[in-house]
Homo-oligomer: A and B are copies of this chain.
């Protein structure tokens, strides 16, 4: 349990510095010496002491990945892709860096805790995946933390969540306590229909406008791989509208998550543009689930159909939720898509295999993860804006069809 560099050096008849150089490979060493060292390493079964080298080199080969739910393939796919980028570009037979996947469970506190843990380990980079929680206090804390980390040399990449706000340039001293928005509620349960409409003002603008107005290319060094949740949802709703649906329900995810908000706003925007559905009606047809799992879909659909039995189509927060929605509908004796159309979001692997196959919006999770990994490793040069947006794509399948009675 204790063979050190010095041992190897002694065995090979060289200094420990030479062994170190051979091992790190970034320094010229004579061929003969090198192989002698390598042999000694082998014979002694020497394994580098990571902490020691991290300490001496003031850097580590750890890359942190924060996910909201590791049991959800959405995150698994992204995390796997990020991790995949750690391999390949290595000298030896495998990855040199280690990916640390941290499961926050969607909890802001844990997010911060893991950030501390990662910082403690002097992680080389950190990728934060999935929707962020929109509590202003937490956002401020997180932004500060992330900026500080980035300033300290840790590469920070957001994947699937909105870019950090611009560093306060003209406004004043700091972003520490941005006044809470009019709607106010922090983490307390928002009223059933409140947060969406109240959030609307900062809405689409906040989600898209700033991208072009960036002064600081790297936004304080924090890079982003963005999904267009808004656009995807809008297109999906347009598809339903085109099919003739007018009573479109929406089973949304947790109200405080950015992903939820953006998708819902896209949906509302399509409705508004079409004009056939009032905002009130849209509101009435929206149900908020507490999470992104199937039971939320199941319960959401029951609630929705109780509230509005005439619903002819249901949009779900994501594919998993859509599965729950389908289950509930079936149980109520409603056929998909003959009686009610259903659509998901994400296009997880199972979605093509459900019965009926799920209409959804495909998010290139694999690609997004890979890009995030590249940005984190510095393999991919970040664009001037600091934001890489990946493309989504409508996947029209069997779960959506024209309504029975034409609307």
Contact = CB atoms under 8 A, between A and B. Distances in A.
A204 B192 CA distance: 56
B93 A109 contact: yes
B47 A55 contact: no
Given A101-B101, A152-B1, A79 B70 contact: yes
A98 interface: yes
With a 10 A CB-CB cut-off, give which of A93, A117, A122, A355 has the most chain B CB atoms: A117
A52 interface: yes
A62 to B, nearest CB: 8
Given A77-B71, A349-B294, A110 B94 contact: yes
B350 A330 contact: no
A294 B113 contact: no
A98 B113 contact: no
A32 to B, nearest CB: 26
A62 B122 CA distance: 13
Contact of A120 (B48, B70, B102, B320): B48
With a 10 A CB-CB cut-off, give which of A70, A116, A294 has the most chain B CB atoms: A70
Interface in A46-91: 47-52, 54-55, 60, 62, 69-73, 75-77, 79-80, 83-84, 87
A102 B99 contact: yes
Interface in A136-186: 148, 151-153
Contact of A323 (B98, B118, B350): B350
A24 to B, nearest CB: 13
A286 B185 CA distance: 59
A122 B51 CA distance: 8
A234 B229 CA distance: 46
A70 B79 CA distance: 7
A119 interface: yes
Contact of A350 (B52, B55, B79, B350): B350
A121 B76 contact: no
B47 A51 contact: no
A120 B73 contact: no
Contacts of A43: none
A326 interface: yes
A197 interface: no
Contact of A76 (B76, B95, B96): B76
A50 B51 contact: yes
B294 A47 contact: no
Given A50-B60, A50-B120, A99-B103, 14 more contacts: A48-B120, A52-B55, A62-B100, A70-B79, A71-B79, A83-B102, A87-B110, A94-B114, A95-B110, A95-B117, A98-B114, A98-B121, A294-B349, A355-B355
Interface of A: 1, 45, 47-52, 54-55, 60, 62, 69-73, 75-77, 79-80, 83-84, 87, 92-96, 98-103, 109-110, 113-114, 116-122, 148, 151-153, 293-294, 320, 323-324, 326-327, 330, 349-350, 352-356
15 contacts: A1-B153, A47-B119, A51-B51, A69-B80, A71-B76, A71-B79, A72-B73, A79-B101, A87-B110, A98-B118, A98-B121, A294-B349, A323-B350, A327-B353, A353-B354
